[in-house]
């Protein structure tokens, strides 16, 4: 009887492995299809950055940390601040919901972001994956969105630093035309005023936010990418 049981288990192993392989292939296909169908290359977002965002999102989803894994927001700080480098993507329906400007921290750089910190008072942006929380109304920022940094050492001080998504007059095309570059925040990913509320209402309550820059320190040590 024991020999028969072992034989049956042996026969089932390829089926189990194939099922797992199919699951991984499906996830990869979803990511590739979304990138292609939405024509994200035409918006300036590279496939590599998109794939990293989806990889981290899937890890968070597996850990049951997301309430809505169908939406991913990417702030691509490898691009000039004069570019529309914020993307809100619907992975389920293969749609680019928003593509607009987003500011980086005052001490993170001028037109380009090149220095990042998790330290309170640094006035720098923090890289990595965040989970969106609930909207708030701040006395200085108005309608805003709380975000929780989930990568220790990179952005887990976000709440302590009061890093939130909010509107800013310096995060507009008009500001770029006047000063030659987007303005800078105190470390928050600040949005154009007309885009702030619709984006917050779309991504609030448990979606994934990925703030990216090709920093070797981050890419090699991120707990969600390695």
User: What mean pLDDT is predicted for residues 22-27?
Assistant: 46
Q: What is the pTM of this model?
A: 0.86
pLDDT by residue (tens digit) across 172-202? 999 999 999 999 999 999 999 999 999 999 9
Phi, psi torsion values for 211, nearest 5 degrees: -100, 115
The pLDDT score that the predictor gives to residue 32 is: 58
pLDDT in tens, 125-177: 999 999 999 999 988 899 999 999 999 999 999 999 999 999 999 999 999 99
Task: Using the predicted structure, report yes or no on whether residue 93 has a pLDDT greater than 50.
Answer: yes
Class of domain 38-221: mainly beta
For the cut 60, the answer to whether the pLDDT of residue 7 exceeds it is: no
Mean pLDDT of the 68-80 span: 98
Across the chain, what does the average pLDDT equal? 90
């Amino acid at each position: 009887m024991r020999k028969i049981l072992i034989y049956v288990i042996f026969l089932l192993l390829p089926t189990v492995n194939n099922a797992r392989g199919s699951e991984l292939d499906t996830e990869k296909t979803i990511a590739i299809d979304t990138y292609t169908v939405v024509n994200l290359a035409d918006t300036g977002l590279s496939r590599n950055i998109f794939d990293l965002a989806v990889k981290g999102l899937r890890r968070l989803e597996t850990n049951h940390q997301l309430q809505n894994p169908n939406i991913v927001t990417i702030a691509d700080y490898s691009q000039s601040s004069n570019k529309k480098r914020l993307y809100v993507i619907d992975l389920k329906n293969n749609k680019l919901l928003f593509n607009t400007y987003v500011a980086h921290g005052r001490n993170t750089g001028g037109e380009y972001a090149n220095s990042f910190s998790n330290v309170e008072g640094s006035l720098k942006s923090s890289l990595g994956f965040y989970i969106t929380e609930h909207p708030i109304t701040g006395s200085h920022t108005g309608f805003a969105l709380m975000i929780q940094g989930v990568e220790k050492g990179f952005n887990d001080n976000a709440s302590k630093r009061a890093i939130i998504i909010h509107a800013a007059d310096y995060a507009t095309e008009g500001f770029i035309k006047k000063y030659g570059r987007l303005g800078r925040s105190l470390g928050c990913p600040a949005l154009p005023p007309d885009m702030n509320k619709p984006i917050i209402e779309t991504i609030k309550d448990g979606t994934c936010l990925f703030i990216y820059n090709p920093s070797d320190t981050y890419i090699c040590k991120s707990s969600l990418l390695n």
